[in-house]
Amino acid sequence: MHVSLAIAEATDAFLRILEYLREEMLSFKLPNSLGGVSALNSGLAGPTQFGKVLTIYPSSTAQACLVAKHLDSVIPVRRGPRVPSDRYLRADGAISLRYGSFTLDRVLVDAFGRFEPAIETPFGLSRDERTATGRQSAFADPLPLSLEPQHDHSALATNDALFRKDSTEYVPLCLLQQTPRGRVFLAGDINSAQTVIIKTAEQGVMSDIAGHDAASRLLNEFRVLRQLRQAGLTVAPEPIVMNAEVPWMAVADVQGETVDSLPPDQQLLRLADAADRLARVHEAGFVHRDVKLANILATHDEVVLIDWELASRIGSEEPIIGGTRGHVAPEVIRGKYAAEQATPMADVFGVGASVAHALLRCNPALLPAGSGRLIGLLVLGGNKDAAIVVRRCVAADVARRPTAADVRDSIRRLRVRTAAMFLQTKVVKRGSRRWALRAAYEVANLTRRYRSPTPGGTAWQNRHFQADFLCESINLGAAGIIIGLLTIAEFTRRDSHVDDVQRAAEWLANAAPPKASCGLFTGNAGVALALALVGTRFGEPRFIAASLERLGVAAEARDEQDLFAGAAGVLWAGAAIGRLLGEVARDIVAPLARWLNDTVVVRDDLLVWRNSGRLDSAKEPFTGAAHGAAGIALALRVWSSESRQIDGTLLAREILLRLYEKARVEPGDAMRRSLDVPVLPTPSNEWCHGSMGYVWCALQAFPNDPAFEPAIDWAASRLYAAPRVSNVTFCHGLAGQLEVWRMLTRNARWDRIAQHRSSEIAACLRLLTERSSGLTTWCAEDPNVFTPDLWVGFLGPATAVARHFMGESLPLMSLD
């Protein structure tokens, strides 16, 4: 049972409800702060927690009915957001119910290592499905309550397709965007046949202590747009109509692209134009308060500023709280706790952050907080002139910031540095080995704050999307943390964390292997590798036996075929464990080599494997290292080399050469993510799908084969031209890039560039560090998440930096 509450009413509601819950001896949970309420109501706590400000656990169906009726009388009207997975007592009520699991003693694990709560049914465990329609499980107990009929609140129903206001009707043509706060449609005016943009808002979402929510923000935006038009300004879309009862508004459809989708040189030009428009807005007495590249629309001859929901009159004492991470001025953040006067300088701060976004080619919202970090990253990339501009715009002292007109002229003098220009930059020093040693050791120490003792040993609690579960895998869990700690111990020459490693190995050895999760990065194969490493290093036969048992379970799976979660990863693990434990490991996985050979297919003149469709929306075969043909080719090559069989080597060679020849997207700047239509290119700087993953595979599989020189040169050049700032992880970020550039130092054609780029990335990683409890750390892809895991957490950059300063040029996951 859930109670939906707006942040403004939460404290008073808790006081009225909690005594009743105590008297009834009901279990419940609630946030420990108003910030927690805000996170739940904005979707920041995750889609499954949306709107669940107070969760109550009745002990029986009868008690659930009594409690629901009582609370419905205490809080008769819902001001918070609707919980999409629930059924409500009343359409406008605050009390909702859902049948499902609320303990972690019943779980299901899939091939990708993803845990999900399960419910007990007469046919065994079943997935605890939570849908946006409020549809409940077929096995749910009937409630003697009259509940609101289930309804899909995530999209317009066919019978309710028209937006009507007075004599005007609009029909939705296309859903452009959908978030917890509302939806954006391209719609048609039935009377005029003109297209418009319609924005909707959900009640209670993004609510703040002053009582503002998504609905009141939408109303504020419409009012400001109308006032701008009355002042003669055409810097924003023309407002057409506002419906306040069921909040939606229609504005003119401005044909254009958001500036964040343009090339960097065009971004700077359009940003200068936007600064010019902002100067006019400020002269008219308004401030936008959410300036970023995504809120600037470029047409063929001008720019238009969009998303005015936070805008206010200059001098307003209590403007709506909000803004975009990395673009919000410090005085606005302070305004959450004290009165903030709206000034144009908040917009200038956003312009400065947008300059950094354009030149770093990385959104500041995705980086750790701190404007000084942006300036350091710009200087590191050779953009000293831009660093000066940004430093002025983001000055903590508001009086030292330039006006929008001044910064417009400064932006117009800036130039984008090309990839070729970076080689003219003074070679970045290898950096401080002393810093790297300290950082790696502190990161290893920080993992102890995430330890979770169990009867069978020690696990680690993650803070990622699987935070409710103790995970085992290399990607996210104990196996990866073991590998990371062992790597750091080798670098620092300290064995301070041996006990943690051994206790974690005990936990893995004692745990029952989940049969559905077999993969190298996601399940049993990766666990088997970690156990083999610990067993051979410390001479522990029970870990070696557990490793072979895990490998045997992994080898039975036939659900997936890729390197990350499927048979290819198990095959690779068998070859690697064979190096440690001998022929027995290779014998266990040998059938998988035959199965992969038998299941390869030809599609678009490529040798690929069918996609199970379980990973994401893609249905056709993948091409990349983690989930596609490149990674499977690497596994076949490694296996064939270890087992001295030529067939796998020949197949792997043909797969990789064809990928280079046939899977590149014209004009050859990227590789196809999958064989789906339309063709989607992949980012060049991501390990899992992109050309970076391709070169990672090719360098390991055929490092000295002349036939691969064009392919390696292509992939390395794409990586060199990619954005030079990113998140820090192995899977999608700088840790993975650092590893690939270290691998390229073994290539004579790329050695000089690779040495330079490796040092640059190490310096970048140093700039991106943060402190937690006095220790060095890095955030995950989400800058609000700190998790100890290897592939998606802070152990990734720590091990990459350690191996860089060790002079290591082989990948972390290498048989050598």
The DSSP string of 143-185 is PSS--PPP--TTS--GGG--EEETTEEEEEEEEEEEETTEEEE
Which tokens in the block code for residue 645? 């069989």
Residue that wins the pLDDT comparison between 412 and 122: 412
Where do the structural domains in the chain lie, given as residue ranges?
2-127, 158-252, 263-417
Q: What is the mean pLDDT of residues 236-247?
A: 93
CATH 1.10.760.10 fits 263-417, yes or no: no
* Residue-wise pLDDT tens digits, 717-729: 999 999 989 999 9
- Asked whether the predicted pLDDT for residue 355 surpasses 80, the reply is yes
Q: What is the mean pLDDT of residues 731-744?
A: 97
Contact (CB, 8 A) for 528 and 573: yes
Contact (CB, 8 A) for 278 and 304: no
Q: What is the model's pLDDT at position 203?
A: 87
Q: Is the pTM of this model over 0.85?
A: yes
* Residue-wise pLDDT tens digits, 608-629: 999 998 888 888 999 999 999 9
Q: What is the model's pLDDT at position 670?
A: 86
* Residue-wise pLDDT tens digits, 435-474: 999 999 999 999 999 999 999 999 999 998 888 899 999 9
- CA 164/CA 189 separation, integer angstroms: 10
Question: What type of residue is 37?
Answer: V
* Residue-wise pLDDT tens digits, 77-109: 988 998 888 889 998 899 999 888 877 778 888
Pick the CATH number of 158-252 from 3.90.1150.10, 3.30.200.20, 3.30.420.40, 3.40.930.10: 3.30.200.20
* Residue-wise pLDDT tens digits, 390-399: 999 999 999 9
Average pLDDT over the chain reads 91
Q: What is the model's pLDDT at position 157?
A: 38
Residue that wins the pLDDT comparison between 710 and 84: 710
Q: Confirm whether 158-252 and 263-417 share one CATH topology.
A: no
Integer CA distances (angstroms), 246 to 77, 95, 165, 219, in order:
16, 20, 11, 11
Q: What is the mean pLDDT of residues 270-293?
A: 98
Q: What is the mean pLDDT of residues 678-702?
A: 90
Q: List 117's β-bridge partners, or say none.
A: 107
Of these ranges, 102-111, 374-383, 735-744, the one predicted with the greatest mean pLDDT is 735-744
The DSSP string of 25-70 is T-EEE--SSHHHHHHHHHTTT-GGGTT-SEEEE-SSHHHHHHHHHH
- Asked whether the predicted pLDDT for residue 161 surpasses 70, the reply is no
Report strand pairing: 451-454 vs 95-97: unpaired
DSSP state at residue 513: P
* Residue-wise pLDDT tens digits, 474-524: 999 999 999 999 999 999 999 999 999 999 999 999 999 999 999 999 999
Q: Which of 319, 310, 280, 313 is nearest to 292 (CA)?
A: 310
Integer CA distances (angstroms), 601 to 123, 306, 329, 571, 609, in order:
36, 48, 54, 19, 6
- Asked whether the predicted pLDDT for residue 153 surpasses 50, the reply is no
